[in-house]
Amino acid sequence: MNMLAQAGKQLREVRRRFGDPKHYVKTDETSGQLQFELLTREGCTPSSKVLELGCGCLHLATPLVQYLDSESYVGVDPNEWLRKKAYKNEAVKALMVEKKVQFTCADNFDASELGMKFDFAFSHSVLSHVAHWQLKQFLENVSRVLVPQGKILSSIRLADGNAFGSTGTPDGKDSRHEEWQYPGVSWFTMKTVQEFSLQHGLEATRNPEYTEFYTKTRPGEFHDWVVFRKQ
């Protein structure tokens, strides 16, 4: 079976198991509003350029695009069917057209072909599923399109767990998965996150206050949150 046929088979299986987009992404409009709040806490303004990795059903994109100036948002997600479902809402579709947003279906977190530089990059429930090697790929490709002092705000599962519901790993070590994990979960130590970050000119800081804020409204989404700043 060639790669295209294999990808088609995998997509059909995803749709069979997670036919409803909200079931697949396991977030909703409330999640998007919370994510938007985290971005503004980090300093996002209407004039900021924002790259979202894993834009999915546009739960974050909808309030964020309303807030941003025109041509300031780019969404990346290999699952184009999720966006097509979101576009069935005519108001959402009209907003994206009006604000001249761009989307790409890259599966390697690489938006460099668009020729844009971003003040912020954001990902929720992406690094919590990546293979071990994909964390490096994510940091390498995203850091390349950040402006100096630009930030990446990402949820992740840290191996030591947290006080808000995340158990971590039994041994407190990286899970070191070789493939994308979904609906399973990937785990990283903060040491690994920081080491990989430094390799790509980033400084990584854990922010438990964001997990506390998020879980007050969505107790099941107890990811850790890390801010990466480009040096």
Q: Over the stretch 48-90, which tens digit does the pLDDT of each residue have?
A: 999 999 999 899 999 999 999 999 999 999 989 889 988 999 9
Residue 5 lies in a domain: no
pLDDT in tens, 110-151: 999 999 999 999 999 999 999 999 999 999 999 999 999 999
Domain that holds residue 140: 35-230
Which of 24-33, 116-125, 126-135, 220-229 comes out lowest in average pLDDT?
24-33
pLDDT in the model for residue 187: 98
Mean of all residue pLDDT scores within the chain:
90
Looking at residue 79, its pLDDT comes to 87
Whole-number pLDDT of residue 26: 58
Distance CA 18, CA 27 (A): 13
How would you list the strands of the sheet with 146-156, edge to edge? 102-104, 73-76, 50-53, 118-123, 146-156, 224-230, 202-206
pLDDT of residue 15: 46
CATH code at 157?
A: 3.40.50.150
- How confident is the model at residue 136, as a pLDDT? 97
101 in any annotated domain = yes
* Domain count across the chain: 1
Q: Are 190 and 160 contacting, i.e. CB atoms less than 8 angstroms apart?
A: yes
Residue 19 domain flag: no
